[in-house]
Amino acid sequence: MVGVIKLENTHDTKRDWEFFREAGRTMLWPHIDAEYQQELEGIAKGVQSKGVKLDVWDIVALNGGIELPQYYVPWLNKRQHAANAPHIVPTGHCSAFIATGSFTKGGKIVIAHNNWASYAEGARWTVIFDIQPEHGHRILMDGAPGVITSQDDFGVNDAGLLITETTITQFVGWDPDAKPEFVRSRKALQYASSIDEYVALIKEGNNGGYANDWLIGDRKTGEIAYLELGLKNTPLWRSKDGYFVSTNFARDPQVLKDETPEFDPRNLSSSPNARRITAEKQMEQAKGQIDVQTAEQFLSDHVDSYTGKVGADERSLCGHVDKVKEGIPVFDWGPYYPGGAVTGKVTDSDLAGKLSLIAHAGHPCGEDFLAAPFLAAHPEYSYLRPILKDMKSGPWTTFVADEKN
């Protein structure tokens, strides 16, 4: 996984890996809680014990593998007036919803999320973490090797919280003197027992990195919330009878004005906006019937709301950008970029009460991605050859805390 992040981030930013290691040491490390510094050091010692030549700064750079290249580097380039700096915008991640009350079967909370990432990352984004920390709540979450938080942020804790998020497209903002997102998101899931506590912890020391729309549910109350976590603006919506969808769009007028100045919410051909239309329609049509099976179908949907056609592309909830001539300009994904939906996860109040979730590796629709024919057809992505491998689609599988292989 370090090799994947190293190749992708150095290629996209034109900065070498030592830059990211040093940024982790000087920019992130001073703002990481001692508890998580120890955990990161433990991961480094663990891989070293297996003969892997990585140190703690590689592990910090891996954990900061989204916020350093996509938030810190653009801020730094502007600050330094860097000549010939590449255009970098945060990559859009994910399609998601959370619903409760009259919209779901039995009124329980249902939450669903598919992670959009490069297929090189997606083929390795296959870990389920069962964490019993010394302090705080037990956590069950998905993720990638070597991280201390989910990174695509789907998880439950033993206090009854269910959480996920999607990235805010074309977000601009960074505070060099604040706390990394990967620390705040881990701390919030570990220590929060309510929506209010989760919101407070995820906002505490906000550095603007990996700016997301957070979907939060509390099975104890049946309440759900939507936090649009910008750097300057952090509006919160709540409901005990309704739903929130999230597909990488900003919805708050001030966030749109101040922090996503390039994003056009009126462009219905844009991936975030087209998926939002599909997601809203799906929720309304399924009112009263939403359950985990509905959620699985939602994540595998191939409707393109802009063309009216059914077919996997950049505007379907289950994205397949490798099939799209136009790519996704708002994510800086070029034509036929090998990326899209790489996982699916769903859970509800009942499952969360057992610290359980249902997850799917690869495209939620069940289609495989095969690296060799793709690279043969698209030699412009030959730089990915060392890391791009097959991403096979697995079955929907139930995971529960304390499960042993």
Q: Over the stretch 282-339, which tens digit does the pLDDT of each residue have?
A: 999 999 999 999 999 999 999 999 999 999 999 999 999 999 999 999 999 999 999 9
Give the residue ranges of DSSP H helices in 93-140. 119-122
From 83-87, 231-235, 362-366, 392-396, the region with the lowest mean pLDDT: 83-87
Residues 135 and 36 in one domain: no
Confidence of residue 92 (pLDDT cuts 50, 70, 90): confident
Mean pLDDT across 374-390: 98
Confidence of residue 89 (pLDDT cuts 50, 70, 90): confident
Confirm whether 85 is domain-assigned: no
Residues 227 and 311 in one domain: yes
Residues 369 and 233 in one domain: yes
Residues 42 and 107 in one domain: no
Whether pLDDT at 159 is above 70: yes
d(CA 219, CA 115): 23
Of the candidates 55, 80, 105, which is a domain's last residue?
80
Residues 23 and 152 in one domain: no
Whether pLDDT at 93 is above 80: no
Q: Name the one residue in this structure whose structure tokens are 């993720």.
A: 143
Name, in order, each residue with C-beta under 8 angstroms of 159's C-beta and a sequence gap of 6 or more.
Answer: 137, 192, 193, 194, 220
Q: What local confidence, expressed as pLDDT, does residue 260 receive?
A: 96
pTM of the entire structure?
0.97
Residues 9 and 133 in one domain: no
Residues 215 and 316 in one domain: yes
Confirm whether 32 is domain-assigned: yes
Q: Over the stretch 264-280, which tens digit does the pLDDT of each residue have?
A: 999 999 999 999 999 99
Residues 268 and 217 in one domain: yes
Q: Over the stretch 354-366, which tens digit does the pLDDT of each residue have?
A: 999 999 999 999 9
CA Rg value for the chain: 20
d(CA 311, CA 155): 29
Residues 75 and 99 in one domain: no
Confirm whether 128 is domain-assigned: yes
Q: Is residue 81 packed enough to be buried (19+ CB in 10 Å), middle (13-18) or exposed (0-12)?
A: exposed
Mean pLDDT across 120-144: 97
Q: Over the stretch 341-354, which tens digit does the pLDDT of each residue have?
A: 999 999 999 999 99
The per-residue pLDDT of the chain, averaged, comes to 97
Neighbours of 51 (CB within 10 A): 6
Count of the separate structural domains present in the chain:
2
Give the domain range for residue 252.
95-400
Q: What local confidence, expressed as pLDDT, does residue 403 receive?
A: 85
Confirm whether 272 is domain-assigned: yes
Residues 12 and 129 in one domain: no
d(CA 68, CA 61): 8
Whether pLDDT at 405 is above 90: no
Confirm whether 89 is domain-assigned: no
Mean pLDDT across 256-260: 97
CATH number, domain containing residue 167: 3.60.60.20
Confirm whether 142 is domain-assigned: yes
Give the residue ranges of DSSP H helices in 81-194. 119-122, 181-191
Q: In 3D, which of 32, 37, 24, 33 has the Cα closest to residue 66?
A: 24
